[in-house]
Chains A and B, each alone.
Chain A
Amino acid sequence: MKKPVYLDYQATTPCDPRVVEKMLPYFTEMFGNAHSVTHSFGWQAEEAVELAREQVADLIGADTKEVSFTSGATEANNLAIKGLAHFYGTKKNHIVTVATEHKCVLEAARRLEREGYEVTTLGVKPDGLLDLDLLETTITDRTLLVSVMGVNNEIGVIQPLAEIGALCRAKGAFFHSDGAQALGKIPIDVEAMNLDLLSLSGHKVYGPKGVGALYLRRKPRRVRLVAEMDGGGQERGVRSGTLPTPLIVGFGEACRLAKLEMAEEGKRLRLLRDKLYQGIAGRLDGVGLNGGADKRIPGNLNLSFKWVEGDQLLRGLTDVAVSTGSACSAATLEPSYVLKALGLNSELAHASLRIGLGRFTSEEEVDFAIDAIVGAVQRQRAQSPLWALHIEGSPLVDP
């Protein structure tokens, strides 16, 4: 077993070796620019890109013409939200999103707000899920876009995409979802879910970093955008720039593998995840599960630990790679805004760990992680005045 044990699969995943294998020839002998139409180096690259486009489209039930490659989910989310608003903004200018969205969705919405768009950021229920009745009353005839992530990057909860999609369709609003954490973890069907726009990422699904995609519906109502990047007009003018053929090949292969293996992998991870949870919660008091238990991807746990000082928690955990929140905000000392949106106070949000399991997580690693996490919490508690107060039964820590 290699240490540190990697349990941060929501931050990024290692590239599957089968994905790397598929990519390698496109780095070396088949290195052409996919937009070169005058020679076989270009044709070869273009053919590979189009096969990958089929593989991505196939995993989400889309047509290949509806898939545009980007540099990742952040770019796809920026393009979806700002690009859509800039195209339709003169007709409708209301955008609805959710407090637990990824930073790039919230920041894109904030940018639009500064430009004069009206943005409603909905809260979530204590389990992390969106209240559909609240959403229904929020959508008006001026609502251009509803953006709700499929799976949360910190707490792994699965939003009811089909229900949200039906609501948006009925009310005439476009429905966008940040699918970075959902892709390859839960089945996605753009038709059944009435998705109009869907952002995808390569490196969260055992593909490479630096590639993602944006799905844009063509029928019955075609989604139009103002491109964020101008230039050579690649990707039907949606996104200019030379396509990174090897990365796209890798992303395609990652999607193909996900489609084949998602169901089995989910079962395996669920067993491991439940073992991890029971192992920790069975040996420690004051362990809370952040986010609902049922509507959750199998590879995620997010646990809070009472009576410890949060910023000390990671220090004792050198041989297990987990995180306290999303990777983007890992270096800041701010408690997770996602956990606060669930109603956790700052102390408990600080004293929480995101544990992400994935394709290469073994039972041995889970056993090791249980001991390491339980040990770290016990050591922190031994030094913590909060724990001492708890033992004394002080109402200061246990009101």
Chain B
Amino acid sequence: MIYLDYNATAPLREPAFAAMAEVMRAPGNPSSVHRQGRQARRRVEEAREIIAAAINAPAAGVIFTSGGTEANNLALTAFPGRRILASAVEHPSILKGKVDAIVPVDRFGVIDLAALDEMLSAEKQPALLALMLANNETGVIQPVAEAAALAHRYGAWVHADAIQAFGKISVDLAALGLDSLSLSAHKIGGPQGMGALVLADSEVDLQPLLVGGGQERRNRAGTENVAGIVGFGAAVADLGDLAVEVARVAALRDRFERAALDSLPGITIFGRKVSRLPNTSCLALPGVPAQTMLMALDLAGFAVSAGSACSSGKVSPSPVLVAMGEERLATSAIRVSLGWASREEELDSFIGQFVSISERLVREHQPA
């Protein structure tokens, strides 16, 4: 089975696995003052520094959470006084929250900065703007730095969901001008059950989601998942030279897309005209239901998905594509996403099979 669903989750990186396997066997609650506790604390703080450095943020600004969903929820509930603006293509962990107004996107899935300006100027009090850096389904990258500069003129708090972008493109909290961003470990080859909300200003007073023992500078209660944190840090340290990896993955993805476009005349690749993650390809063959395509690919030994993993159990079309005005194609859309362990031979094999399966399915689904 060849795995091409990295935007759902990525296999664990070897150094992360090794680090966790060691830590997991040791007892040690980082809040305990005895030697085992202090050792656990040291490991947590080392990981915090690695992660902070990777995104140009202060280490004290890193609040570890149980994952990206919790980080996004924490960001949204941290400032109860602020109304929340979010784009139409956000992940459900943002959109299912208490969002007050939706920022529209164009047909490529890029937010409309003029509309955002208008919406911000209509807010009576400074708002909170939540934007994803890169979309989980299409890989489309938002003009977050521009949006942040604009929103700051209105005193807004700008939060970016960087969960899919992190590890795939450069993420620099300071350069983007963000107030906070959220990360998930398992999307970059770290462990599941681990994420972070990262603040540009660690001193800011936020309302925690989970209260209790006062861990994470009173921002997130609960015994730290030491092995998870250590694994997250090790995965980040293993990202290596991002420019090299971006070029490698983009070359694989582009080769696949070129072959698909050349052989399948009806195919649509979403977001291809705009800035996109190098690893993601979201595409549709008109008239071929996504489920049919996925089943055929699964039989042939390829794991891909339709939209996000959270909604892949449901039959409703992807809200992201609907927001882009692609209702018609949304039920045919599948997502191919590559990652750190994707190899050239895997792509070669996938390209050949995808084209022949697609040709067959297009024939079978032609209107009589």
Contacts and interface: CB of A to CB of B under 8 A. Distances in A.
**Real binding pair:** yes
SS class, residues of chain B in contact with chain A: loop
Interface string B63-76: 00111111011000
A15 interface: yes
A74 B192 contact: no
A242 B11 contact: no
Interface residues of A, number: 74
Interface in A11-31: 11-15, 17, 20, 23-24, 27-28, 31
Given A74-B223, A78-B211, A37 B312 contact: yes
A231 interface: yes
B34 interface: yes
B29 A41 contact: no
Contacts, number: 267
Contacts of A37: 312-313
Interface stretch (A143-151, A189-197, A205-213, A265-273): A205-213
A8 B32 contact: yes
Contact of B310 (A24, A77, A107, A231): A231
Interface in B310-351: 310-313
A246 B191 contact: yes
Nearest to B186: A242
B342 to A, nearest CB: 14
Interface string B204-236: 000001111111000001111111100000000
A33 B309 contact: yes
B156 interface: no
A346 interface: no
Contacts of A314: 33-34
Contacts of B91: 231
Interface in B143-187: 184, 186
Given A27-B12, A74-B210, A74-B212, A38 B312 contact: yes
Contacts of A39: 1, 3, 5, 294, 298, 302-305
A210 B212 contact: no
Contact of A41 (B214, B227, B294, B303): B303
Nearest to A250: B24
Contacts of B298: 38-40
A252 to B, nearest CB: 14
Nearest to A29: B11
B101 interface: no
A75 B210 contact: yes
B190 to A, nearest CB: 10
Nearest to A212: B222
A78 B215 CA distance: 14
Contacts of A231: 69, 72-73, 91-93, 96, 310
A11 B305 CA distance: 41
Given A240-B92, A241-B69, A36 B223 contact: no
Nearest to A105: B212
Given A233-B92, A247-B192, A210 B66 contact: yes
Nearest to A24: B21
B336 to A, nearest CB: 12
B227 A210 contact: yes
Contacts of B268: none
A230 B97 contact: yes
Contacts of B283: none
B8 interface: yes
B35 interface: yes
Contacts of A242: 9, 67-69, 184, 186, 192-193, 309-310
B17 interface: yes
Contacts of A187: none
B31 interface: yes
B274 interface: no
Contacts of A12: 27-29, 32, 223
B225 A210 contact: yes
Contacts of B67: 71, 241-242, 244
B205 to A, nearest CB: 15
A105 B8 CA distance: 34
A166 interface: no
Interface string B1-25: 1010100111110000100110011
A38 B67 CA distance: 22
Contacts of B97: 230
B311 A104 contact: no
Contacts of A140: none
Interface stretch (A57-65, A116-124, A301-309, A315-323): A315-323
A36 B213 contact: no
B202 interface: no
7 contacts: A33-B5, A35-B309, A71-B225, A108-B211, A229-B69, A328-B215, A330-B31
Given A41-B1, A322-B34, 15 more contacts: A12-B29, A27-B20, A32-B9, A72-B223, A78-B212, A107-B221, A108-B212, A208-B225, A228-B73, A230-B93, A231-B72, A245-B192, A314-B34, A323-B34, A330-B31
Interface of B: 1, 3, 5, 8-12, 17, 20-21, 24-29, 31-37, 65-70, 72-73, 91-93, 96-97, 184, 186, 191-194, 209-215, 221-228, 294, 298, 302-306, 308-313
